[in-house]
Structure 1
Amino acid sequence: MKMSLLKKTNIPQILFLILVLSSCGKDKKTTTDTVSAVEDTMPRMKPHAPEKRLSQAYINSVKGRINHFYTKNWPNNSMNGSFLVARNGQIIFERYNGYANKNEGTKITADTPVQIASVSKVLTATTVLKLVNAGKLDLDQKVNTILKTFPYEDCTVRMLLSHRSGMRNYAYFTDHDKSIWDRHNQLTNADILNILATKDIGLESKTGTRFGYCNTNYAMLALIIEKITGLKYKEAMSEIIFKPLGMTHTYVFDDDKDRKKIVPSYKGNGAEIGFDYLDNVYGDKNVFSTARDLLKFDRARNSPDFLKPALLKEVYTGYSNERKGTKNYGLGIRMINWETGQNFYFHNGWWHGNTSSYIPLQKENVTIIALSNKMTTKTYAVRKLAPIFGDYPFNFKDEE
C-alpha cells in the first residue's frame, strides 16, 4: 500500500524531470546549431593551390643578388627582425636576427611574432573585402547604417578603406584635451566612436573630396567587422584569415592580456619603448605576425579564389590621385602607378619602434617582407629588390 502510494507520488515528478531535461537538451542543441550556422556562413580565406616549383638554377641566379642587398642594407647582420623573399610561395631567401627581448636575451627566430603596425591595415581590409564578397556588406554602404552613432552621414565603407572619409586621426584629437580624453585611461575603438559621436570632432576635409591617410578609418572598419560578424575583431580575424591559412604565429594584440608576453619594441639606440594609452586600438595596427605567416596570407590574397574579379579590380583601383602623379591608394593597399603601365603594390608600417614592409609583386608572384622591432627606416629599402624580378624603376644599384 505504502509502496503503491510512493510510486504514484513520484510519477508526476519523474515526468516533470524528463520534460525539463528534454527541454534543456533542445535549448543546447538550438544554441549549438545557431553557432554552427554563423560559422558556416563566415567567409574564409583559402590557401593558394600548390604553385610551380622553382628550379635550383633560378634560385641560384637571384639569391646572390638578394644576399648582396642584405649585407649592404644590414651590414654585419645588424637587422633586428625578419626578412623574407619568396616566389610562387617558395622561400628563396630569409634571415632572422637580433633580440626579441633584450632583457631576457631571447633572439628573433622564424616563429617570433612582431608588431606589423600599419601592414595590419592590409589584413583588416582583406576581412572587410571578404565580407563584401560574401554579400554581407556593400562597399558603398553608409557607415551610419552599420555603426548607428557614427556622425558623418556621407561616409561609406569604400571611403574608410581608401582614406577618403576626411576624418581626423584619433591619436591627435585625444592627445591634449582632457575634456575629450584622459590619457591616463586606455583608449578603445568603441571610445573613439563615442568621442566622434558626442564631442563634435571636426573633419580635416569634406567627406569624399580628397585622400588623407588616417588611422581612424581602420579603427572604424574593425568595429564594422565586429558588427557584421557578431564576433570580436580578434576572433573574426582568426576565423576568416588566421585559422584557415594556418597562420599559427599570428594574433591580434590585447593590451589587457598580452602586455607581458609580446616582443617589445626599441628605439634606434636600443632603449625599450613602453606602452601608451593608444595601444589597445586595433584595425589600423596591433596584428602580431611573422614573415612566414604573412607569406601564407600573401599567397592566399593573390589566389584565384580571393575575390570575384569585379571586386578585385576595385581593390587595385587608385582613389587618391587628386593631382596627377604616381603615388596612389586603393582599398587597403598603397600603389605606385607609372605612365608605362607598370604598377607596384605595397604597404609599410610604423608603430613605436616597429617598422614593416609588405610587397607583393603580383605579375611575378614574388613576395618581399621585412619586419623590425627596432626603429629603422632600412625596412622600407626592400622595395629596391623589385628590379631583380621585373621592370620596376627603383635604383637597385644604390645598394651595390
Structure 2
Amino acid sequence: MSELFKHKYWLIWAVLFVPEGVSGQWTARLDSLLARRESPGAVVLIQQNGRTLYRRAAGYARLDTRKPMTTGSALRMASVSKQFTAMAVLLLEKEGRLKLDDPLSRYLPESKRPVTLQQLLTHTSGIPDYEERMDTTWRRQLLDRDVWDLLKKDTVTYFRPGTAFRYSNSAFCLLSLVVEKASGMPYAQFLQEKIFRPLGMTHTFLYEERAGHPERALGYARNREGKIADSDQSLTSATRGDGCVYTSADDYLRWHEALSRNQLIDMSEKVRGRVFPFPDHPGYGYGFGWFTAPGGTFFHSGSTCGFSNVVIRRGDLLILFFSNLADSHAFFGKVLGVLDAALAPGTDWEMLHRLTN
C-alpha cells in the first residue's frame, strides 16, 4: 500500500489549487491534447464553484457509424459505478429499511460468512474475488446472482472481516442483491426511481443485453498488434453492483452537484463517520464507493474491457475524464500535466489508478 501513496501530497496540491478561472492558454492546451488523441473518443470536464471551466469531447462514440463523442454520450463507468450502489444502500438506510451493521445473512440467508454491509461497503469483508471462482465452462455474461452462486458455497475469506482492506468487486455485486431484497424492486429500477430520475440524469442507465440506448458509446481496446478493435463486452461486464452503470459527462455533473448540495444524503459526513482508514497512511481510506484523502478529497477510477474513467472531487471541484478506449488512463496524466502548469508540479496520476485496481 505504501507504494500507492508515495506521491499523495502531489494529488492534494493538484486538487486544492485549481484557480477560479481558466486561462485561454490552459484551454488551448487541453484542446490540443484532445485534438491529437487517437479515436475512439474521450471527454474532459472541469467544474469549480458552479462554473464550468472546461467541457469538451473528442473522437467517436461508435467507430462503425462514425458517431461523434459528445458530453451527452453514455459510457460504461466500470468501478466508478460503485458510488451509485453505495448511495442506494444509504438511501435504504435513510428510509429505515436496513442498517449498515446488519449481517449479510439477513438479506442473503445462505451466507455463511460473518460479514456486515458496512464491511462490504468499505472493501473490508475479505470475500473472495468472483473471477477466481469462474472456470472455462462459462459461455454467457455473469450476473450478480451468478456471483452469489459462486461464492455462497463456502466460508472462506482472505482475512478476518473488518481487519484489512482488499478491493472487492464481489462485495458490490452482493450489495446490489441486498438493495433488491431490502427495497422489494429490481436494482436497476431502484436506481432509476431513487437517483437517476430525481436528479435529471436522462442518459444514465444500467446495461442490459439487447436494450437499445441511442446515446450509448461502444467500447474498444488495442489488440496484440496495437490496432484498435471492438471490445464492448466481456463475460464479467454485465454484473451490476460493481460496475454496470452507463452515464454521460453532463449527467455526471448533475450527480456531482447533487452530492455537493447533499440533495440525497450528506455523503461527506457519512464517509467521515464510516470510512475504513488505511493504518499506514493517516488521513487516507475508503468508504461508500470513494477513496478519500486529506482535505476532503474524493477520487475513483474505473477500468473495463472497453472503457477508462477517472473522477476527482473536492467540495465544488470536479475533474472528470471518460473514454471508450480500454487502458487509456495515461491520457488523464497528460490532462493533469496541463493543469500542473497552473497548479503544482509533479502530480503522479498513476497512484489514482492503482488505488482502484
Q: CA deviation at 1:332?
A: 1.5
Aligned to 1:32: none
Equivalent residues of 2:128, 2:151 under 8 A apart: no
State the AA in 2 paired with 1:248. T
CA gap of 1:379–1:130, structure 2 versus 1, over 3 A, is farther
CA gap of 1:397–1:230, structure 2 versus 1, over 3 A, is closer
Aligned to 2:322: 371
**Secondary structure at 2:73 match in 1:** coil
State the AA in 1 paired with 2:300. H
| Pairing partner for 2:53 from 83, 92, 97 | 92
State the AA in 2 paired with 1:357. V
Aligned to 2:303: 350
| Pairing partner for 2:270 from 306, 311, 314 | 314
| Pairing partner for 2:291 from 334, 351, 356 | 334
**Secondary structure at 1:190 match in 2:** helix
**Secondary structure at 2:238 match in 1:** coil
CA gap of 1:370–1:264, structure 2 versus 1, over 3 A, is same
1:193 aligns with 2:148: yes
Matches within 5 A, 1:1-400: 61-64=21-24, 66-67=26-27, 70-71=30-31, 73-74=33-34, 76-78=36-38, 80-153=41-114, 155-174=115-134, 176=135, 182-198=137-153, 200=154, 202-258=156-212, 262-268=216-222, 269-307=227-265, 312-316=268-272, 318-324=275-281, 327-337=284-294, 342-362=295-315, 365-375=316-326, 376-381=328-333, 382=335, 395=346
CA gap of 1:324–1:304, structure 2 versus 1, over 3 A, is closer
CA distance in structure 2 between the partners assigned to 1:68 and 1:288 by the alignment: 29
* Larger CA deviation: 325-334 vs 98-107: 325-334
Equivalent residues of 1:162, 1:330 under 8 A apart: yes
CA gap of 1:193–1:394, structure 2 versus 1, over 3 A, is farther
CA distance in structure 1 between the partners assigned to 2:332 and 2:158 by the alignment: 28
Question: Which structure has the highest helix share of the two?
Answer: 1
Q: CA deviation at 1:350?
A: 0.5
CA gap of 1:246–1:324, structure 2 versus 1, over 3 A, is closer
CA distance in structure 2 between the partners assigned to 1:379 and 1:371 by the alignment: 10
CA shift digits 1:65-97 (9 cap, x unpaired): 642552575462547221111123432211111
CA distance in structure 2 between the partners assigned to 1:197 and 1:126 by the alignment: 25
* 5+ long unaligned stretches in structure 2: 1-18, 350-357
The total of aligned residue pairs comes to: 323
State the AA in 1 paired with 2:191. M
State the AA in 2 paired with 1:321. F
State the AA in 1 paired with 2:104. V
**Secondary structure at 2:61 match in 1:** strand
CA shift digits 1:326-368 (9 cap, x unpaired): 642122211223xxxx342111101112011112121xx1112
State the AA in 2 paired with 1:307. I
CA gap of 1:304–1:237, structure 2 versus 1, over 3 A, is closer
CA distance in structure 2 between the partners assigned to 1:234 and 1:94 by the alignment: 28
Aligned to 1:44: none
Q: CA deviation at 1:150?
A: 2.1
CA gap of 1:66–1:201, structure 2 versus 1, over 3 A, is farther
Using structure 1 for the length normalisation, give the TM-score: 0.73
CA gap of 1:91–1:207, structure 2 versus 1, over 3 A, is same
Q: Which entry has the higher C-alpha Rg, 1 or 2?
A: 1
CA gap of 1:314–1:68, structure 2 versus 1, over 3 A, is same
* Larger CA deviation: 75-84 vs 242-251: 75-84
State the AA in 2 paired with 1:377. H
**Secondary structure at 1:316 match in 2:** helix
Equivalent residues of 1:110, 1:291 under 8 A apart: yes
* 5+ long unaligned stretches in structure 1: 1-57
Equivalent residues of 1:166, 1:203 under 8 A apart: yes
State the AA in 1 paired with 2:183. T
Aligned to 1:4: none
CA gap of 1:136–1:63, structure 2 versus 1, over 3 A, is farther
Q: CA deviation at 1:240?
A: 0.9
**Secondary structure at 2:241 match in 1:** coil
CA distance in structure 1 between the partners assigned to 2:152 and 2:268 by the alignment: 33
Equivalent residues of 1:114, 1:290 under 8 A apart: yes
Q: CA deviation at 1:147?
A: 1.5
CA distance in structure 2 between the partners assigned to 1:91 and 1:211 by the alignment: 36
**Greater RCO structure (CA 8 Å; 6+ sep):** 2
CA gap of 1:386–1:284, structure 2 versus 1, over 3 A, is farther
State the AA in 2 paired with 1:215. N
CA distance in structure 1 between the partners assigned to 2:256 and 2:215 by the alignment: 27
CA shift digits 1:39-64 (9 cap, x unpaired): xxxxxxxxxxxxxxxxxxx86x3243
CA gap of 1:149–1:238, structure 2 versus 1, over 3 A, is same
Q: CA deviation at 1:258?
A: 4.9
Q: CA deviation at 1:223?
A: 0.7
Q: CA deviation at 1:372?
A: 0.1
State the AA in 1 paired with 2:291. R
Aligned-pair identity in percent equals: 25
